[in-house]
Amino acid sequence: MKLDGHAKLTNSALRAFKSRCSKSTDVFIREKMCHLPQFNMWNIGWDSTDSNETDNKNLVKYIIAQELSIFGDSFHRVGNGYLARKVVAVDLELPLVFGHLADWGQKYHFMRRASGATVKDAHKEAIELIRKKTVDWIRSMMHILYSFRRRGRSGGSTTFLRKQAVSYLAIALHSLQDSFSPGHTKRTRYENPQLPGAIEDIYIYEKQDKRIHSQHDFDSASINSIHARSAVYASADLMRLCALSVSMKSMFPVGWSAFEDKWLRLSSRAR
């Protein structure tokens, strides 16, 4: 996905998550988890709801000017679209930006290493990354909400810890969303965005036509495409899984197996 695509998909997923979360019968989820500042949407003016070159270029300038300035993200509070910004920043922040070309970073974009990795290898690596970063978010938020004790007015802020937790979830969401782009994976044909096709192939970036890859990323992040809708539903589902796990005080993602089987299932034809 392109930068603006990740931002728009994450915003849509946040809206879907909060809508479903607010209807939950679980009081803790409704009152505590639904309203975490990090789940606020990014209010930014777009040229279009579809992913496009103009919005993507403008977002590059915005990130470079503010996210990657000498001050870093110190000016940004955890709210105000912080999660969406961090999902976008996976494509720009050092050292993750080198992951576009380096073998070790392909899993951050749900792609395959060029150095002999099989589709099954790549799938396992990407799944493990998403799961691990999800666990890191859950454990960080468990510490913040249940274990952290204020140490006086000047030493009790949890801002740094919350930003660190958001970074974990952002990486998981970024890779998850990329798994739905035809430029990153090949899935079996499907017509229901909530029942996505199994993953048959995971592509190697170095072996692709970069122009075609770029167009796939634009097309698949356009909000009316089936790929975009699947990415939104999957992202919202991952947020709900995270919130549920913390509300149940579970150190591991509650319902992870079902989540993986639904959104990231590997085809029996994959090699």
Q: How far is CA 76 from the centre of its chain?
A: 19
249 sits in the region (left: phi over 0; alpha: psi -120 to 50; else beta) called left
Whole-structure pTM value: 0.92
Task: Write out pLDDT tens, residues 131-190.
Answer: 999 999 999 999 988 877 554 444 457 888 999 999 999 999 999 999 999 999 999 999
Q: What is the mean pLDDT of the chain?
A: 88
In degrees and rounded to multiples of 5, residue 202 shows phi and psi of -125, 120
If you average pLDDT over residues 16-32, what whole number do you get? Answer: 71
Structure tokens given for 80: 């105000």
If you search the block for the tokens 């919005």, which residue do you land on? 55
Structure tokens given for 42: 């990014």
Asked if 258 contacts 49 with a C-beta cutoff of 8 angstroms, the reply is no
Asked if 26 contacts 69 with a C-beta cutoff of 8 angstroms, the reply is no
**How far is Cα 28 from Cα 242, in angstroms, rounded to an integer?**
13
